[in-house]
Structure formats: structure tokens, C-alpha cells
Amino acid sequence: MSTPELACETAPVRKPEGLSRIGLIVPSSNTTMETELPELFRRQSEATGHRYTFHSARAGMKNVNKEELLAMVGKAADCAAAVSDADVDAIAYACLVAVMAQGPNAHVDSEAVIAKAAEDNGHPAAVTSSAGALVRTLQEMGVRRIAMVTPYMKPLTQMVREYIEGAGIEVLDAVSLEVADNLAVGCLDPQNLPEIARNLQREGAEAIVLSACVQMPSLPAVQAVEDELGLPVITAATATAYEILKSLDHEPSIPGAGSLLAGAGSKLPTRI
């Protein structure tokens, strides 16, 4: 008995209505971005009914030092091509310091490389990076002065500080938790962040960056710190989520993650 030949599909498969696919490029040791972003978009789905799925490509990186960060950058195009195979609608390059380590305004070139790789692979997608999302979101908010928390060693924190200040935003205070191992960064307790934020030098600050790193867990503390200190609180992860939603033309409707993502009718807190 002959076996019937399998029909080859020649027409592109259309995504289901009411579904967006989001691609992530993350360090191989990242354990946080693939939990915090899906949780944010789960809340968005509950509010709007629109569904989101996440599809990741991983680039090798264990220790947060300049050498490994630069090596990761060289893998971005291959990762973008791989994740675009899932026909994603948006791609987020989710390693803030890997981009910032390349020098001032490096997010522009990094995002262009990723966009070109996806387009060349036949699946163009909107592209953001956590580095670009953080500075652009602060600029869009009209913020000129911030205080921030990072998990990095002090030299890397200084590099991040200079990168943000190169975008026209003064960093009044920057706390370094000095954790070099990226897996250990993902194990930091976000419940410690409110106390750390209280001790920031906030005089004159217009916003707090509670985690200038997508690997440092912060989501459980964002709303609490914003409510207590009366300043807008964002993180690298919430800024990335905000830009993904913008790229999809979706109005943010995410409760419990700060006023940035709360959506229409929400007001940024005023400094107290």
C-alpha cells in the first residue's frame, strides 16, 4: 500500500485573531525577564482580553562583566533571526547593560541590527531594547533627574549612569548591590527594594529607577515604592513592556506595576 504524500503548505499561516507574539533575546543565565514580562502581559490580558505569547532566544552570558557582555552583543543578530522564525510581532533585546557597554546611544545601532536580521529572515518585527526603552521612557515622561538601583559592580553602575546622563537625564544617586554572577542577581529578593529605595538620595529626583537591570527582580516592589515615596517608579522591565505595547498600538492597562503601565486615566504621582 502506498503512503499518501504529505501536502506542503505554501501559503503563510495567519496568526489567530486577538493574539500577539513577543520575542525575547535574553542572556543564557537570565531567569527574570521570562517571568516578569509574562506576568505584566497576563495582567494586560485580564484587562483587555488580548492574548500574548512569549518566545525566547538565549545568548551565552554568565558573569556581568564587560568581556562577556560584549561577546553577547555579537550574538544578537543570530538570536534575532532565530526568534523571528516564530513570526513574532515584536522583539525585545533584554539585556540593558550589554547594550550600554558598547558606548553612548548604542541602543540605536543594536536595535537596527536586530530589526535587519528579522527582516532578512522574512519576518520583520518591531524592535526595542531594554536600554533604549529605559532612556526613551524617561524622556517621554519628561524626567530630568532620577535616583536608581542596580545589581552591578560599581564600575558597571558608573557606566550605566554615564549612559543615562548622555541621554540628558541626571542621575542624582545610584546604589550598586555589587553582584557579579548573573544567576545570583536573579535570586535577589525584591522585598528588600523598598528599604533600599528609602535610603536613596531623592532630593530633586523626578522618578526612581528601581531596577536598572532586567535580571534583578523588582515587580513585586514597584507599586509599593511608588505609593510610599510619591514618585513615579519604573524599571528596565516595565519600560520594556511599555515600549512593546506602544509598538503594538495597545493602550497599557496593567494594574499594580506603577503609573507608567496603569493606562488611561492614571496620573503620575507628584513628588512629596
pLDDT at 267: 62
Between CA 14 and CA 83 the distance in angstroms is: 17
Average pLDDT of the residues in 176-196: 95
As a whole-number percent, the residues of the chain with pLDDT over 90 amount to 76
Tell me the CA distances in angstroms from 238 to 52, 132, 214, 219, one per residue in order. Answer: 16, 12, 9, 8
Is 9 a member of any domain? no
CATH of the domain at 142: 3.40.50.12500
> pLDDT band at 69, cuts 50/70/90?
low
pLDDT tens for each residue of 20-42: 999 999 988 889 999 999 999 99
* pTM tops 0.85: yes
As a whole-number percent, the residues of the chain with pLDDT over 70 amount to 86
Residue 125 has φ and ψ, to the nearest 5°, of -150, 155
Is 251 a member of any domain? yes
Average pLDDT of the residues in 4-13: 50
Considering the domain architecture, whether residues 88 and 149 belong to the same structural domain is answered as no
Considering the domain architecture, whether residues 126 and 29 belong to the same structural domain is answered as yes
**Number of Cβ atoms within 10 Å of the Cβ of 105:** 16
pLDDT tens for each residue of 215-264: 999 999 999 999 999 999 999 999 999 999 999 999 999 999 999 999 86
Is 272 a member of any domain? no
Of residues 8, 79, 95, 187, which has the active-site annotation?
95
Strands (E), 87-201: 90-93, 126-129, 145-150, 170-176
Considering the domain architecture, whether residues 121 and 256 belong to the same structural domain is answered as yes
Considering the domain architecture, whether residues 163 and 198 belong to the same structural domain is answered as yes
Contacts of 96 (CB under 8 A, 6+ apart): 129, 130, 131, 134, 160, 212, 213, 214, 236
Is 254 a member of any domain? yes
Average pLDDT of the residues in 46-62: 89
Considering the domain architecture, whether residues 114 and 187 belong to the same structural domain is answered as no
Which span out of 64-68, 95-99, 263-267 was modeled with the highest average pLDDT? 95-99
**Annotation: binding site:** 30, 95-97, 152, 182, 214-215
Catalytic residue at 79? Answer: no
pLDDT at 59: 83
pLDDT at 265: 55
Considering the domain architecture, whether residues 95 and 138 belong to the same structural domain is answered as no
pLDDT tens for each residue of 141-172: 999 999 999 999 999 999 999 999 999 999 99
Q: Is the pLDDT of residue 67 over 80?
A: no
Considering the domain architecture, whether residues 127 and 28 belong to the same structural domain is answered as yes
Query: What residues form DSSP beta bridges with 129?
Result: 93
Catalytic residue at 8? Answer: no
Of residues 8, 79, 187, 213, which has the active-site annotation?
213
Average pLDDT, the chain: 90
Considering the domain architecture, whether residues 57 and 111 belong to the same structural domain is answered as yes
User: What domain count does the chain have?
Assistant: 2
Considering the domain architecture, whether residues 81 and 207 belong to the same structural domain is answered as no
Between CA 205 and CA 215 the distance in angstroms is: 24
Range of the domain at 211: 133-235
Q: What angle do CA 76, 115, 262 make, to 5 degrees?
A: 95
pLDDT at 8: 46
CB 218 within 8 A of CB 190: yes
Residue 176 has φ and ψ, to the nearest 5°, of -105, 120
Between CA 91 and CA 87 the distance in angstroms is: 10
SS3 label, residue 2: coil
**Annotation: binding site for substrate:** 30, 95-97, 152, 182, 214-215
